[in-house]
Amino acid sequence: MNDSLKQKPDHNATWLVPVACLLVGGALTGISTNLAKYAVDTGLTPLAFLFWSITGSAIILLIVAFIKQETLPFSARSIEYYFIAAFVSVAAANLLLFSAIPHVGAGFVALIISLPPLLTYLGALLLRIERFYLTRALGVAAALLGAGVLAIHKLSAPDTSVFWILVALCGPVLLAIGNIYRTLRWPDNTAFSALAPGMLVAASLLMALFSMVFNFSIAISVDSWLPLGLITIQACVFAGQFLLLFLLQKTGGPVLLSLLGAVGAIFGVPIAIFLQGEHPPEGLLLGGCLIAIGVALVTWGGVKMSTATTKKE
């Protein structure tokens, strides 16, 4: 495989950069999940809330790119990248997750988005983007096992909708596919801060097209400040989340990137329990501990790999 198609971690960057991106980006992911539940509770539809939030975040990042005097690439390769990455990583994945939240809870969704590491890791190994490293493999396995414990408990609950659980579980699969795709097809010599707004603009266009084709309304009420306020907050959260996502992908690689969901669960579940009044998911203690151990092992393994590679160079 041509090395130009593989986005390898930047070994000149300190390990603190990807770890900081992972923690802050994960926190924003957890906040985003809970905002989506609250928005639906106030009467906003998942599609309308997602469309306007993504559109707002695209505008924010376009302004940032303009201030930094960065131009978005418009080659055939970059346009392909924008729309495929937007569909898999943003529009489809988030629409499935946001639609499932009212039925399975924000806490559960925050937990199952910790599932992509295994799929991402296996895909990265098969495509030779990532070398096998025992510490990272154990970390991914621990995070997956923790999420599996929580999912099994949720499926066994008597009042659970199996359909919406399956819908929610499709989200992590799409996120893992997106992690691999964005790594393989990263346009050459393109800054991460220029790719993020392009992807979000494409996601906004795709959701607008979806609403027109299937006659789903994206209208929102302007009679109250609450819907507009929630959309504004979510737009800012999305802008930071996706900007950090691309920076983490550039500095930490696809497997470390895939742990955003696991870190998001650590932040998102307590918010759902203490601020939104949800009942703690069954198996939370065991599942949460396994996920935390997994994040620590994958992060530590990445640091050791980076150090070893730097010494060889």
What does the pLDDT look like over 155-205, one tens digit per residue? Answer: 777 777 778 888 888 888 898 888 888 878 888 777 777 788 999 999 999
What does the pLDDT look like over 20-71, one tens digit per residue? Answer: 888 898 899 889 989 988 998 888 988 999 999 999 999 999 998 888 888 8
pLDDT computed for residue 51 by the predictor: 95
- How many angstroms separate the CA atoms of 110 and 34, rounded? 8
Lowest average pLDDT, out of 81-95, 178-192, 206-220, goes to: 178-192
Supply φ then ψ for residue 12, to 5 degrees: -80, -20
User: Sorting pLDDT into bands at 50, 70 and 90, what band is 5?
Assistant: very low
Q: Span 71-76, mean pLDDT?
A: 84
Which residue, among 247, 201, 262, 284, has the nearest Cα to 33 in the 3D structure?
262
- The 3-class secondary structure across the chain, one letter per residue, is CCHHHCCCCCCCCCCHHHHHHHHHHHHHHHHHHHHHHHHHHCCCCHHHHHHHHHHHHHHHHHHHHHHCCCCCCCCHHHHHHHHHHHHHHHHHHHHHHHHHHHHHCHHHHHHHCCCHHHHHHHHHHHCCCCCCCHHHHHHHHHHHHHHHHHHHHHHHCCCCCHHHHHHHHHHHHHHHHHHHHHHHCCCCCCCHHHHHHHHHHHHHHHHHHHHHHCCCCCCCCCCCHHHHHHHHHHHHHHHHHHHHHHHHHHHHHHHHHHCHHHHHHHHHHHHHHHCCCCCCCCCHHHHHHHHHHHHHHHHHHHHHHHHHHHHHC
Instruction: Find out whether 304 and 135 touch, Cβ atoms under 8 Å.
Output: yes
pTM: 0.77
117 against 198, higher pLDDT: 198
Return mean pLDDT, the chain.
81
User: What's the angle, vertex CA 233, arms to CA 228 and CA 235, rounded to 5?
Assistant: 90
Supply φ then ψ for residue 125, to 5 degrees: -65, -45
Instruction: Find out whether 117 and 144 touch, Cβ atoms under 8 Å.
Output: yes
